[in-house]
Amino acid sequence: MRRMFINGEFVASLSGETFAVENPATEEQIDEVPRARAEDAEQAVRAAHAAWDDWRFTPGIEKCEMLHAVARRIREHREEVARLLTLEGGKPLIENMDEVEWSAACFDYYAEVGRHEAGRVIPPVQRHQMNFVVKEPYGVVVCIVPWNYPLLLMSWKVAPALMAGNTVVIKPSEHTPLSTLLLAEVAFRELPPGVVNVLTGYGDEVGEPLVKHPLTPVIAFTGSVATGRRIAVLAAERIKRVNLELGGNDPFIVCDDADLDVAVRGAVWAAFLNMGQVCTSGERFYVFESISEKFIEGFVAFTRTLRLGNPLGPDVDLGPMISAAQREKVERKLDRVREMGAKVLCGGVRPEGFSRGYFFEPTVVTGVDHTMPLMREETFGPVAPIMVVKDIDEAVALANDSEYGLGANILTNNLEYALTAAERIKAGTFWINDPLTDNDAGPFGGMRLSGGGRELGAEGIEEFRETKHIHLDYKLEAKPYWYPYDWSKGRKTD
Protein backbone atom coordinates (compact mmCIF):
# COMPACT_ATOMS: atom_id res chain seq x y z
CA MET A 1 0.00 0.00 0.00
CA ARG A 2 1.23 3.47 -0.88
CA ARG A 3 0.86 6.18 1.74
CA MET A 4 0.06 9.88 1.64
CA PHE A 5 2.80 12.49 1.72
CA ILE A 6 2.57 15.05 4.53
CA ASN A 7 5.41 17.23 5.82
CA GLY A 8 8.03 15.17 4.02
CA GLU A 9 6.84 11.83 5.39
CA PHE A 10 4.68 9.03 4.00
CA VAL A 11 1.77 8.43 6.35
CA ALA A 12 -1.50 6.53 6.64
CA SER A 13 -4.80 8.31 7.13
CA LEU A 14 -5.62 9.05 10.75
CA SER A 15 -8.69 6.83 10.45
CA GLY A 16 -6.69 3.96 8.99
CA GLU A 17 -9.17 3.66 6.11
CA THR A 18 -8.05 2.84 2.58
CA PHE A 19 -9.57 2.42 -0.86
CA ALA A 20 -8.57 0.40 -3.91
CA VAL A 21 -7.12 1.75 -7.15
CA GLU A 22 -8.22 -0.18 -10.22
CA ASN A 23 -6.66 -0.85 -13.60
CA PRO A 24 -9.36 0.22 -16.11
CA ALA A 25 -7.98 -2.16 -18.75
CA THR A 26 -8.35 -5.27 -16.57
CA GLU A 27 -10.69 -4.18 -13.74
CA GLU A 28 -8.11 -5.61 -11.33
CA GLN A 29 -6.86 -3.89 -8.18
CA ILE A 30 -3.41 -2.36 -8.61
CA ASP A 31 -2.89 -1.05 -5.09
CA GLU A 32 -4.65 0.68 -2.23
CA VAL A 33 -4.13 4.13 -0.77
CA PRO A 34 -5.25 6.00 2.35
CA ARG A 35 -8.78 7.39 2.39
CA ALA A 36 -8.15 10.86 3.76
CA ARG A 37 -10.71 12.80 5.77
CA ALA A 38 -11.00 16.27 7.27
CA GLU A 39 -8.51 15.51 10.04
CA ASP A 40 -5.88 14.54 7.46
CA ALA A 41 -6.60 17.74 5.55
CA GLU A 42 -5.99 19.65 8.76
CA GLN A 43 -2.58 18.02 9.19
CA ALA A 44 -1.52 18.66 5.61
CA VAL A 45 -2.64 22.30 5.60
CA ARG A 46 -0.91 22.99 8.93
CA ALA A 47 2.30 21.43 7.60
CA ALA A 48 2.11 23.47 4.39
CA HIS A 49 1.36 26.67 6.30
CA ALA A 50 4.29 26.14 8.66
CA ALA A 51 6.62 25.45 5.71
CA TRP A 52 5.42 28.60 3.96
CA ASP A 53 6.93 30.80 6.69
CA ASP A 54 10.36 29.91 5.33
CA TRP A 55 9.64 28.93 1.73
CA ARG A 56 8.19 32.33 0.88
CA PHE A 57 11.54 33.96 1.70
CA THR A 58 13.71 31.35 -0.02
CA PRO A 59 15.71 33.23 -2.69
CA GLY A 60 14.51 32.80 -6.24
CA ILE A 61 17.76 31.21 -7.41
CA GLU A 62 17.43 28.53 -4.71
CA LYS A 63 13.82 27.77 -5.64
CA CYS A 64 14.92 27.68 -9.27
CA GLU A 65 17.59 25.07 -8.54
CA MET A 66 15.15 22.93 -6.57
CA LEU A 67 12.51 22.98 -9.31
CA HIS A 68 15.14 22.00 -11.86
CA ALA A 69 16.09 19.14 -9.52
CA VAL A 70 12.45 18.03 -9.43
CA ALA A 71 12.40 18.01 -13.23
CA ARG A 72 15.61 15.97 -13.40
CA ARG A 73 14.27 13.39 -10.95
CA ILE A 74 11.03 13.07 -12.93
CA ARG A 75 13.00 12.38 -16.10
CA GLU A 76 15.24 9.85 -14.34
CA HIS A 77 12.14 7.84 -13.46
CA ARG A 78 10.28 8.47 -16.70
CA GLU A 79 9.60 4.86 -17.64
CA GLU A 80 8.55 3.82 -14.13
CA VAL A 81 6.20 6.79 -13.76
CA ALA A 82 4.73 6.38 -17.26
CA ARG A 83 4.04 2.69 -16.68
CA LEU A 84 2.19 3.45 -13.43
CA LEU A 85 0.22 6.21 -15.17
CA THR A 86 -0.82 3.65 -17.79
CA LEU A 87 -1.85 1.04 -15.24
CA GLU A 88 -4.09 3.39 -13.27
CA GLY A 89 -5.37 5.67 -16.03
CA GLY A 90 -5.57 3.55 -19.18
CA LYS A 91 -3.84 5.96 -21.62
CA PRO A 92 -1.44 4.17 -23.97
CA LEU A 93 2.10 4.03 -22.60
CA ILE A 94 3.43 6.05 -25.53
CA GLU A 95 1.14 8.95 -24.54
CA ASN A 96 2.13 8.69 -20.89
CA MET A 97 5.82 8.82 -21.75
CA ASP A 98 5.01 12.18 -23.33
CA GLU A 99 3.00 13.27 -20.28
CA VAL A 100 5.95 12.60 -17.97
CA GLU A 101 8.29 14.64 -20.17
CA TRP A 102 5.80 17.50 -20.46
CA SER A 103 5.42 17.53 -16.67
CA ALA A 104 9.17 17.76 -16.16
CA ALA A 105 9.38 20.51 -18.78
CA CYS A 106 6.78 22.54 -16.89
CA PHE A 107 8.93 22.51 -13.74
CA ASP A 108 11.93 23.58 -15.81
CA TYR A 109 9.94 26.37 -17.43
CA TYR A 110 8.67 27.89 -14.19
CA ALA A 111 12.07 27.49 -12.53
CA GLU A 112 13.29 30.11 -15.00
CA VAL A 113 10.15 32.25 -15.34
CA GLY A 114 9.80 32.59 -11.58
CA ARG A 115 13.17 34.23 -11.09
CA HIS A 116 12.75 36.71 -13.93
CA GLU A 117 10.94 39.36 -11.88
CA ALA A 118 8.95 39.86 -8.70
CA GLY A 119 7.30 43.19 -9.43
CA ARG A 120 8.29 46.57 -10.82
CA VAL A 121 9.31 50.11 -9.93
CA ILE A 122 6.88 52.88 -10.84
CA PRO A 123 7.44 56.66 -11.07
CA PRO A 124 6.94 58.57 -7.78
CA VAL A 125 4.56 61.45 -7.24
CA GLN A 126 6.97 63.59 -5.15
CA ARG A 127 10.69 64.21 -4.87
CA HIS A 128 12.97 61.80 -2.92
CA GLN A 129 10.40 59.01 -3.13
CA MET A 130 10.33 55.56 -4.69
CA ASN A 131 7.40 53.27 -5.40
CA PHE A 132 7.53 49.50 -5.75
CA VAL A 133 4.91 47.06 -6.94
CA VAL A 134 5.75 43.75 -5.26
CA LYS A 135 4.35 40.33 -6.13
CA GLU A 136 3.87 38.14 -3.08
CA PRO A 137 2.71 34.55 -2.56
CA TYR A 138 -0.71 33.89 -1.07
CA GLY A 139 0.20 31.01 1.24
CA VAL A 140 -1.14 27.46 0.93
CA VAL A 141 -2.54 26.53 -2.49
CA VAL A 142 -4.92 23.58 -2.85
CA CYS A 143 -4.39 21.80 -6.18
CA ILE A 144 -7.27 19.50 -7.13
CA VAL A 145 -6.31 17.44 -10.15
CA PRO A 146 -8.36 15.24 -12.55
CA TRP A 147 -7.65 11.71 -13.73
CA ASN A 148 -7.14 12.21 -17.47
CA TYR A 149 -3.71 13.90 -17.22
CA PRO A 150 -2.84 13.44 -13.54
CA LEU A 151 0.76 14.66 -13.64
CA LEU A 152 0.59 17.23 -16.41
CA LEU A 153 -2.37 19.12 -14.93
CA MET A 154 -0.78 18.81 -11.50
CA SER A 155 2.48 20.33 -12.75
CA TRP A 156 0.62 23.23 -14.40
CA LYS A 157 -0.59 24.19 -10.92
CA VAL A 158 2.21 23.11 -8.61
CA ALA A 159 5.25 24.43 -10.51
CA PRO A 160 4.08 28.07 -10.79
CA ALA A 161 2.57 28.02 -7.30
CA LEU A 162 5.87 26.90 -5.79
CA MET A 163 8.01 29.29 -7.79
CA ALA A 164 5.72 32.14 -6.74
CA GLY A 165 6.57 31.26 -3.12
CA ASN A 166 3.47 29.31 -2.10
CA THR A 167 3.32 25.85 -0.61
CA VAL A 168 0.81 23.28 -1.87
CA VAL A 169 -1.53 20.48 -0.91
CA ILE A 170 -2.32 18.23 -3.88
CA LYS A 171 -5.53 16.19 -4.05
CA PRO A 172 -5.27 13.83 -7.04
CA SER A 173 -8.29 12.05 -8.44
CA GLU A 174 -9.33 8.91 -6.59
CA HIS A 175 -8.94 7.09 -9.92
CA THR A 176 -5.27 8.03 -10.41
CA PRO A 177 -3.49 8.79 -7.12
CA LEU A 178 -0.57 6.38 -7.51
CA SER A 179 1.53 8.31 -10.00
CA THR A 180 1.36 11.47 -7.89
CA LEU A 181 2.45 9.55 -4.81
CA LEU A 182 5.32 8.06 -6.82
CA LEU A 183 6.36 11.57 -7.81
CA ALA A 184 6.37 12.51 -4.12
CA GLU A 185 8.74 9.62 -3.53
CA VAL A 186 11.15 10.22 -6.38
CA ALA A 187 10.98 13.99 -6.99
CA PHE A 188 9.21 16.08 -4.35
CA ARG A 189 11.70 15.03 -1.71
CA GLU A 190 14.04 17.51 -3.41
CA LEU A 191 11.97 20.18 -1.65
CA PRO A 192 11.88 21.09 2.06
CA PRO A 193 9.34 19.17 4.19
CA GLY A 194 5.82 20.56 4.00
CA VAL A 195 6.33 22.51 0.78
CA VAL A 196 4.47 19.81 -1.20
CA ASN A 197 1.89 17.54 0.40
CA VAL A 198 -0.30 14.87 -1.24
CA LEU A 199 -3.65 13.68 0.13
CA THR A 200 -5.56 10.78 -1.43
CA GLY A 201 -9.31 10.43 -1.12
CA TYR A 202 -12.70 11.56 -2.35
CA GLY A 203 -13.88 15.08 -3.06
CA ASP A 204 -16.62 15.32 -0.46
CA GLU A 205 -14.47 13.70 2.24
CA VAL A 206 -11.14 15.52 1.87
CA GLY A 207 -11.44 17.90 -1.10
CA GLU A 208 -14.20 19.93 0.51
CA PRO A 209 -12.38 20.32 3.86
CA LEU A 210 -9.34 21.56 1.95
CA VAL A 211 -11.42 24.12 0.05
CA LYS A 212 -13.15 25.33 3.22
CA HIS A 213 -10.05 25.49 5.40
CA PRO A 214 -9.25 29.05 6.63
CA LEU A 215 -5.56 28.64 5.78
CA THR A 216 -6.00 27.83 2.06
CA PRO A 217 -6.48 31.17 0.29
CA VAL A 218 -6.14 29.77 -3.27
CA ILE A 219 -7.90 26.82 -4.92
CA ALA A 220 -6.70 25.58 -8.33
CA PHE A 221 -9.07 23.04 -9.83
CA THR A 222 -9.51 21.16 -13.09
CA GLY A 223 -12.66 19.10 -13.50
CA SER A 224 -16.38 19.19 -14.09
CA VAL A 225 -18.61 22.26 -14.18
CA ALA A 226 -20.72 20.89 -11.32
CA THR A 227 -17.73 20.44 -9.02
CA GLY A 228 -16.29 23.78 -10.10
CA ARG A 229 -19.53 25.51 -9.15
CA ARG A 230 -19.45 23.83 -5.73
CA ILE A 231 -15.86 24.94 -5.17
CA ALA A 232 -16.65 28.49 -6.27
CA VAL A 233 -19.55 28.72 -3.81
CA LEU A 234 -17.48 27.39 -0.91
CA ALA A 235 -14.53 29.62 -1.77
CA ALA A 236 -16.74 32.71 -2.06
CA GLU A 237 -17.71 32.41 1.58
CA ARG A 238 -14.11 33.26 2.50
CA ILE A 239 -13.33 35.43 -0.55
CA LYS A 240 -10.73 32.95 -1.77
CA ARG A 241 -9.01 33.12 -5.14
CA VAL A 242 -10.10 30.32 -7.46
CA ASN A 243 -8.62 29.12 -10.73
CA LEU A 244 -11.16 26.88 -12.47
CA GLU A 245 -10.67 24.91 -15.68
CA LEU A 246 -14.00 23.21 -16.23
CA GLY A 247 -13.84 21.40 -19.53
CA GLY A 248 -15.54 22.17 -22.80
CA ASN A 249 -17.41 21.13 -25.90
CA ASP A 250 -14.81 22.23 -28.39
CA PRO A 251 -15.71 22.98 -32.03
CA PHE A 252 -13.53 21.73 -34.88
CA ILE A 253 -13.96 23.34 -38.32
CA VAL A 254 -12.75 21.66 -41.53
CA CYS A 255 -12.71 24.06 -44.50
CA ASP A 256 -13.10 23.28 -48.17
CA ASP A 257 -9.46 24.01 -49.01
CA ALA A 258 -7.99 21.52 -46.52
CA ASP A 259 -5.97 18.53 -47.71
CA LEU A 260 -8.44 15.75 -46.92
CA ASP A 261 -5.86 13.10 -45.98
CA VAL A 262 -4.21 15.46 -43.51
CA ALA A 263 -7.56 16.77 -42.25
CA VAL A 264 -8.89 13.28 -41.57
CA ARG A 265 -5.82 12.21 -39.60
CA GLY A 266 -5.76 15.41 -37.55
CA ALA A 267 -9.48 15.35 -36.83
CA VAL A 268 -9.52 11.67 -35.83
CA TRP A 269 -6.60 12.22 -33.48
CA ALA A 270 -8.25 15.27 -31.93
CA ALA A 271 -11.49 13.33 -31.42
CA PHE A 272 -10.11 10.10 -29.96
CA LEU A 273 -6.87 10.97 -28.16
CA ASN A 274 -7.06 9.28 -24.74
CA MET A 275 -10.45 7.87 -25.78
CA GLY A 276 -11.81 11.40 -26.13
CA GLN A 277 -11.16 11.98 -22.44
CA VAL A 278 -9.38 15.28 -23.00
CA CYS A 279 -10.89 18.60 -21.99
CA THR A 280 -9.88 20.05 -25.37
CA SER A 281 -10.98 17.08 -27.50
CA GLY A 282 -12.69 17.87 -30.77
CA GLU A 283 -16.26 17.25 -29.61
CA ARG A 284 -18.30 18.70 -32.49
CA PHE A 285 -17.09 18.81 -36.07
CA TYR A 286 -18.30 21.31 -38.68
CA VAL A 287 -17.33 20.36 -42.23
CA PHE A 288 -17.90 22.46 -45.36
CA GLU A 289 -20.59 20.91 -47.55
CA SER A 290 -18.45 20.72 -50.69
CA ILE A 291 -16.00 18.26 -49.06
CA SER A 292 -18.28 16.67 -46.48
CA GLU A 293 -18.99 13.40 -48.27
CA LYS A 294 -15.33 12.58 -48.89
CA PHE A 295 -14.27 13.82 -45.45
CA ILE A 296 -16.87 11.71 -43.61
CA GLU A 297 -16.00 8.67 -45.72
CA GLY A 298 -12.31 9.11 -44.90
CA PHE A 299 -12.98 9.84 -41.22
CA VAL A 300 -14.98 6.62 -40.82
CA ALA A 301 -12.45 4.53 -42.73
CA PHE A 302 -9.52 5.85 -40.68
CA THR A 303 -11.41 5.44 -37.40
CA ARG A 304 -11.96 1.77 -38.21
CA THR A 305 -8.19 1.26 -38.43
CA LEU A 306 -7.56 2.40 -34.84
CA ARG A 307 -6.25 -0.39 -32.62
CA LEU A 308 -7.81 -0.98 -29.20
CA GLY A 309 -5.96 -3.05 -26.64
CA ASN A 310 -3.67 -3.26 -23.65
CA PRO A 311 -2.45 0.32 -23.19
CA LEU A 312 1.00 -0.97 -22.24
CA GLY A 313 1.29 -1.86 -25.93
CA PRO A 314 2.84 -2.40 -28.32
CA ASP A 315 0.89 -1.57 -31.46
CA VAL A 316 -2.05 0.03 -29.67
CA ASP A 317 -3.69 3.38 -30.39
CA LEU A 318 -6.49 3.37 -27.80
CA GLY A 319 -6.81 1.93 -24.33
CA PRO A 320 -9.90 1.74 -22.12
CA MET A 321 -12.05 4.51 -20.74
CA ILE A 322 -11.37 5.38 -17.12
CA SER A 323 -14.37 3.68 -15.51
CA ALA A 324 -17.62 1.81 -15.99
CA ALA A 325 -19.54 4.95 -15.01
CA GLN A 326 -17.83 7.05 -17.67
CA ARG A 327 -18.50 4.46 -20.37
CA GLU A 328 -22.15 4.16 -19.35
CA LYS A 329 -22.54 7.93 -19.52
CA VAL A 330 -21.38 7.89 -23.14
CA GLU A 331 -23.68 4.97 -23.97
CA ARG A 332 -26.70 6.80 -22.56
CA LYS A 333 -25.89 9.90 -24.59
CA LEU A 334 -25.60 7.85 -27.78
CA ASP A 335 -28.93 6.17 -27.06
CA ARG A 336 -30.50 9.59 -26.66
CA VAL A 337 -29.20 11.04 -29.94
CA ARG A 338 -30.21 7.90 -31.83
CA GLU A 339 -33.74 8.44 -30.55
CA MET A 340 -33.51 12.03 -31.82
CA GLY A 341 -32.57 10.91 -35.34
CA ALA A 342 -28.77 10.82 -35.38
CA LYS A 343 -27.01 8.04 -37.26
CA VAL A 344 -24.04 6.08 -35.92
CA LEU A 345 -21.73 5.30 -38.86
CA CYS A 346 -19.22 3.21 -36.91
CA GLY A 347 -18.51 2.20 -33.34
CA GLY A 348 -21.03 2.99 -30.66
CA VAL A 349 -20.65 -0.39 -28.94
CA ARG A 350 -18.38 -2.29 -26.60
CA PRO A 351 -15.85 -4.16 -28.73
CA GLU A 352 -15.96 -7.91 -29.13
CA GLY A 353 -13.19 -9.95 -27.56
CA PHE A 354 -12.77 -7.75 -24.48
CA SER A 355 -14.27 -9.57 -21.52
CA ARG A 356 -12.65 -7.19 -19.04
CA GLY A 357 -11.84 -3.52 -19.06
CA TYR A 358 -13.81 -0.38 -19.92
CA PHE A 359 -13.21 -0.48 -23.66
CA PHE A 360 -15.50 1.21 -26.18
CA GLU A 361 -15.27 1.47 -29.94
CA PRO A 362 -14.47 4.94 -31.32
CA THR A 363 -17.71 6.29 -32.69
CA VAL A 364 -18.66 8.54 -35.61
CA VAL A 365 -22.13 10.13 -35.66
CA THR A 366 -23.89 12.14 -38.39
CA GLY A 367 -27.35 13.63 -38.72
CA VAL A 368 -26.79 15.77 -35.65
CA ASP A 369 -28.01 19.28 -34.87
CA HIS A 370 -27.83 21.72 -32.00
CA THR A 371 -30.86 20.33 -30.22
CA MET A 372 -28.87 17.19 -29.39
CA PRO A 373 -26.81 16.74 -26.21
CA LEU A 374 -23.72 15.70 -28.20
CA MET A 375 -23.59 19.23 -29.58
CA ARG A 376 -24.57 21.04 -26.37
CA GLU A 377 -22.72 19.21 -23.58
CA GLU A 378 -19.25 17.85 -22.90
CA THR A 379 -19.17 14.14 -23.76
CA PHE A 380 -15.64 13.24 -22.59
CA GLY A 381 -15.62 10.02 -24.54
CA PRO A 382 -14.70 8.54 -27.95
CA VAL A 383 -17.54 10.09 -29.95
CA ALA A 384 -17.16 12.38 -32.99
CA PRO A 385 -20.40 14.04 -34.17
CA ILE A 386 -20.06 15.58 -37.63
CA MET A 387 -22.33 18.35 -38.92
CA VAL A 388 -22.30 19.72 -42.49
CA VAL A 389 -22.16 23.52 -42.94
CA LYS A 390 -22.41 25.83 -45.94
CA ASP A 391 -19.49 28.17 -45.26
CA ILE A 392 -17.22 29.79 -42.69
CA ASP A 393 -19.95 32.12 -41.40
CA GLU A 394 -22.26 29.24 -40.54
CA ALA A 395 -19.38 27.28 -38.99
CA VAL A 396 -18.39 30.21 -36.77
CA ALA A 397 -22.00 30.86 -35.74
CA LEU A 398 -22.48 27.23 -34.73
CA ALA A 399 -19.11 27.12 -32.97
CA ASN A 400 -20.22 30.06 -30.83
CA ASP A 401 -23.62 28.51 -30.11
CA SER A 402 -22.38 27.05 -26.83
CA GLU A 403 -22.13 27.76 -23.13
CA TYR A 404 -18.49 26.60 -23.19
CA GLY A 405 -15.34 28.32 -24.39
CA LEU A 406 -12.23 26.29 -23.68
CA GLY A 407 -10.70 25.61 -27.09
CA ALA A 408 -11.50 25.64 -30.81
CA ASN A 409 -9.83 24.29 -33.95
CA ILE A 410 -9.76 25.02 -37.66
CA LEU A 411 -8.03 23.25 -40.55
CA THR A 412 -7.45 25.57 -43.52
CA ASN A 413 -4.81 27.25 -45.63
CA ASN A 414 -7.14 30.21 -46.19
CA LEU A 415 -5.88 33.07 -44.03
CA GLU A 416 -9.24 34.83 -44.12
CA TYR A 417 -11.04 31.70 -42.89
CA ALA A 418 -8.48 31.16 -40.14
CA LEU A 419 -8.38 34.67 -38.76
CA THR A 420 -12.11 35.27 -39.13
CA ALA A 421 -12.74 32.22 -36.96
CA ALA A 422 -9.93 33.04 -34.52
CA GLU A 423 -11.23 36.58 -34.04
CA ARG A 424 -14.90 35.69 -33.64
CA ILE A 425 -15.01 32.36 -31.82
CA LYS A 426 -15.15 32.61 -28.02
CA ALA A 427 -12.43 30.26 -26.77
CA GLY A 428 -9.42 30.44 -24.49
CA THR A 429 -7.19 28.70 -27.03
CA PHE A 430 -7.63 28.69 -30.80
CA TRP A 431 -5.64 26.15 -32.83
CA ILE A 432 -5.02 26.64 -36.55
CA ASN A 433 -3.86 23.46 -38.34
CA ASP A 434 -2.33 21.88 -35.21
CA PRO A 435 -5.04 20.65 -32.84
CA LEU A 436 -4.58 20.36 -29.08
CA THR A 437 -0.91 21.38 -28.95
CA ASP A 438 0.13 23.20 -25.77
CA ASN A 439 3.04 25.55 -25.19
CA ASP A 440 4.44 26.13 -21.69
CA ALA A 441 4.79 29.83 -22.55
CA GLY A 442 1.23 30.14 -23.87
CA PRO A 443 -1.61 30.68 -21.36
CA PHE A 444 -4.31 28.02 -21.18
CA GLY A 445 -7.82 28.37 -19.78
CA GLY A 446 -11.45 28.85 -20.60
CA MET A 447 -14.22 31.35 -21.11
CA ARG A 448 -17.93 31.07 -20.24
CA LEU A 449 -18.70 27.79 -18.42
CA SER A 450 -15.22 26.53 -19.19
CA GLY A 451 -13.95 28.47 -16.21
CA GLY A 452 -11.71 31.39 -15.39
CA GLY A 453 -8.06 32.03 -14.68
CA ARG A 454 -5.11 30.82 -16.72
CA GLU A 455 -2.46 28.14 -16.44
CA LEU A 456 0.93 28.22 -18.19
CA GLY A 457 2.79 31.26 -19.46
CA ALA A 458 3.48 34.39 -17.45
CA GLU A 459 -0.25 34.47 -16.69
CA GLY A 460 0.07 31.09 -14.98
CA ILE A 461 2.42 32.33 -12.27
CA GLU A 462 0.38 35.52 -11.77
CA GLU A 463 -2.55 33.35 -10.62
CA PHE A 464 -0.48 32.50 -7.53
CA ARG A 465 0.84 35.98 -6.64
CA GLU A 466 -0.93 38.94 -5.11
CA THR A 467 0.10 42.54 -5.51
CA LYS A 468 1.45 44.90 -2.87
CA HIS A 469 2.34 48.58 -3.38
CA ILE A 470 5.27 49.86 -1.29
CA HIS A 471 5.58 53.66 -1.04
CA LEU A 472 8.99 54.90 0.16
CA ASP A 473 10.12 58.41 1.01
CA TYR A 474 13.83 58.20 1.80
CA LYS A 475 13.84 61.61 3.50
CA LEU A 476 11.88 61.84 6.75
CA GLU A 477 10.42 65.31 7.00
CA ALA A 478 7.10 66.94 7.81
CA LYS A 479 4.80 67.23 4.86
CA PRO A 480 3.07 70.54 4.11
CA TYR A 481 -0.29 68.80 3.75
CA TRP A 482 -0.25 67.37 7.33
CA TYR A 483 -2.14 68.93 10.24
CA PRO A 484 -2.68 71.71 11.03
CA TYR A 485 -4.23 72.77 7.73
CA ASP A 486 -3.29 76.14 6.36
CA TRP A 487 -6.62 77.42 5.14
CA SER A 488 -5.05 80.42 3.48
CA LYS A 489 -3.54 78.22 0.82
CA GLY A 490 -5.84 77.34 -2.00
CA ARG A 491 -8.76 79.44 -0.61
CA LYS A 492 -10.72 81.31 -3.23
CA THR A 493 -10.39 85.07 -2.87
CA ASP A 494 -12.70 87.80 -4.17
- Residue of 361, 363, 362, 359 lying closest to 310 (CA atoms): 359
Catalytic annotation, pick one of 22, 245, 283, 463: 245
324 neighbors 356 (Cβ within 8 angstroms): no
Q: Judge residue 482's burial from the number of C-beta atoms within 10 Å of its C-beta, 0-12 exposed, 13-18 middle, 19 or more buried.
A: exposed
Say if strands 429-432 and 167-171 run parallel, antiparallel, or are unpaired.
unpaired
- Residue of 260, 252, 276 lying closest to 363 (CA atoms): 276
Q: Judge residue 157's burial from the number of C-beta atoms within 10 Å of its C-beta, 0-12 exposed, 13-18 middle, 19 or more buried.
A: buried
In sequence order, what DSSP letters do the residues of 322-373 get, joined into one string?
A: S-HHHHHHHHHHHHHHHHTT-EEEE--SPPTT-SSS-----EEEES--TTSH
Per the DSSP assignment, residues forming a β-bridge with 18 are: 34
Q: Which helix (H) or strand (E) holds 394?
A: helix 392-400
Distance in angstroms (rounded) separating the CA atoms of residues 243 and 167: 16
User: For this structure, is 245 an active site residue?
Assistant: yes
Say if strands 129-137 and 343-346 run parallel, antiparallel, or are unpaired.
unpaired
Per the DSSP assignment, residues forming a β-bridge with 220 are: 143, 243
Distance in angstroms (rounded) separating the CA atoms of residues 184 and 206: 19
339 neighbors 371 (Cβ within 8 angstroms): no
Q: In this structure, which amino acid lies at residue 491?
A: R
Bond prior to 484 in cis (omega within 30° of 0): yes
Backbone angle region of 399, left / alpha / beta, with phi > 0 → left and psi within -120 to 50 → alpha? alpha
Listed in sequence order, the residues at least 6 apart from 55 whose beta carbon sits closer than 8 Å to its beta carbon are 63, 162, 165, 166, 167, 192, 195
User: For this structure, is 143 an active site residue?
Assistant: no
Q: In what order do the strands lie in the sheet with 343-346?
A: 343-346, 363-366, 383-389, 282-288, 250-254, 407-411, 429-432
Active-site annotation, residues = 245, 279
